[in-house]
Amino acid sequence: MATLSLSNIQKSFGTFQALRDVNLDIRSGEFICLLGGSGCGKTTLLRIIAGLEEMTSGNLLLENSDLSSIECHKRNVGMVFQSLALFPHLNVGDNIAYGLEVRGVAKSKRRQKATDLLEVVGLSGLYERKVSALSGGQRQRVAIARALAIEPKLFLMDEPFSALDAGLREHLQIEVKKLQRKLGVTTIFVTHDQHEAMSIADRIVILNEGRIEQAGTPTEVYARPQTRFVADFMGTNNIFSPIFTPGADAMLEDANLGRPSGELGQWSGKHTVAVRPEYLQLKPASADSTGLVGTVDFVRLLGASIETELSVGDRSFVHTMVSDRAPQFAVGDSVEISFDFDHAWVIPS
Ligand code: ATP
């Protein structure tokens, strides 16, 4: 059963529609990432769930009761934002205990809870420290502990790590994921970073221009994108539209792509496919090649792998391979690009 159910949510700011018909059921204990580019409506949706923004229409149910009629501070949600808004005049422990104080919890209990949470977020012993005397990563942990102190039904985070350097960000992503698993709190995390979403989410919800393009596990949205937008957004993909004829080779204009295997062999007409860079194969083009022949535009070493960019007419292709197995091509080389249709994903829409 869904813990949080969003149905037909619309949000307009004047004539601008920021959210269009958003439908989503979130299960108890699930870790959801709202992912999308700037301005797609991620923060607006999170603020509606938090009660900081009113929706124009739609329904928001938490455990089958109407959440939209409950004031923000009574919704029992814990929130962490990019700008942390920790209270500078309070020490670390009192920052964490603040929500409990507002709720009238006795001082000794507050202190115990804050001390326990400091241990959970790896800051034991820093209860009395001023928040101004903490590093950026430590402050984020205090913000997380403060949000969790009220034992929220929903834990909402809006780009909480985007101001931190890459190493610390990755470290905190892992920590927050472990913590969330341990506590089992239903979590919604906003990010524009697909790597971040892939590494922490149980389910990624991809938004585009206020609409959900696809909601699925990281594997589903990476390997089986349902729209061209998702195929483009979820990392590098080679996307092109060959013409299929049952029982014959697939053609991309005059380039012969070979005979599609399995069900694809029965398809006809033009269909858009996505092939990940790691599934392309390259070899030097020969004079009589009838396949997909391109020119190498750029080669770069990415540590463990080598990435080669190629152009075929006005189309671009990207190939990656583990460095020590990659063929060595130079800019300007003429190369034949091939792939196995078993690794081609037909984009449904
Ligand atoms: P970012 O990653 O840049 O924060 P986002 O996906 O979180 O983007 P939102 O902040 O939800 O995007 O904004 C969605 C759209 O709604 C944007 O075009 C934004 O300009 C607009 N918008 C948000 N808040 C308001 C507001 N109070 N008044 C008018 N327009 C707004």
Contacts of 135 (CB under 8 A, 6+ apart): none
| pLDDT at residue 161, as a whole number | 85
Domain ranges of the chain: 4-228, 238-346
The strand order across the sheet containing 211-216 reads 77-81, 154-158, 186-191, 31-35, 203-208, 211-216
**Residue 157 Cα to ligand 1 middle (Å):** 16
SS3 assignment, position 298: strand
SS3 assignment, position 202: coil
The CA-atom distances, in angstroms, between 263 and each of 267, 291, 341, 345 are 7, 22, 10, 12
H helices of 281-347, where? Answer: none
What's the DSSP call for residue 93?
H
Atom of ligand 1 nearest to the CA of 40: 6
> Do the domains 4-228 and 238-346 sit in the same CATH topology, yes or no?
no
**Residue 54 Cα to ligand 1 middle (Å):** 14
CB of 93 closer than 6 angstroms to any ligand 1 atom: no
Atom of ligand 1 nearest to the CA of 16: 30
| pLDDT at residue 348, as a whole number | 87
| pLDDT at residue 1, as a whole number | 52
Q: How far apart are CA 323 and CA 188, in angstroms?
A: 37
Q: How far apart are CA 344 and CA 264, in angstroms?
A: 9
How many other CB atoms are there within 10 angstroms of residue 57's CB atom?
Answer: 11
CATH 2.40.50.140 assigned to 238-346: yes
Contacts of 263 (CB under 8 A, 6+ apart): none
Torsion sign (Cα): 232, 234, 239, 244? negative
CB of 15 closer than 6 angstroms to any ligand 1 atom: no
Atom of ligand 1 nearest to the CA of 13: 29
Give the mutation target among 40, 162, 191 for probing the ligand 1 site: most ligand atoms within 8 A of CB. Answer: 40
The residue whose CA is least distant from atom 4 of ligand 1 is 38
273, 232, 62, 27: which is closest to 261 by C-alpha?
A: 273
Atom of ligand 1 nearest to the CA of 14: 29
| pLDDT at residue 235, as a whole number | 87
pLDDT per residue of the chain (349 residues) written in tens, 0 to 9: 568 999 999 999 999 999 999 999 999 999 999 999 999 999 999 999 999 999 999 999 999 889 988 888 888 899 998 776 788 889 999 999 998 998 899 999 999 999 999 988 888 999 999 998 888 888 888 999 999 898 899 999 999 888 778 888 888 899 889 889 988 999 999 999 999 999 999 999 999 999 999 999 999 999 999 999 999 999 889 999 999 999 999 999 999 999 998 888 889 999 999 999 999 999 999 989 999 999 999 999 888 889 999 999 999 999 998 877 766 799 999 999 999 999 999 998 7
State phi, psi for 257 to the nearest 5 degrees: -95, 0
E strand residue ranges, 232-288: 238-240, 243-244, 250-252, 255-258, 269-270, 273-275, 280-284
| pLDDT at residue 287, as a whole number | 87
104, 100, 101, 137: which is closest to 122 by C-alpha?
A: 137
H helices of the chain, where? Answer: 42-50, 92-102, 107-120, 136-149, 166-183, 194-200, 218-223, 228-233
CB of 39 closer than 6 angstroms to any ligand 1 atom: yes
| pLDDT at residue 326, as a whole number | 62
CATH number of 4-228: 3.40.50.300
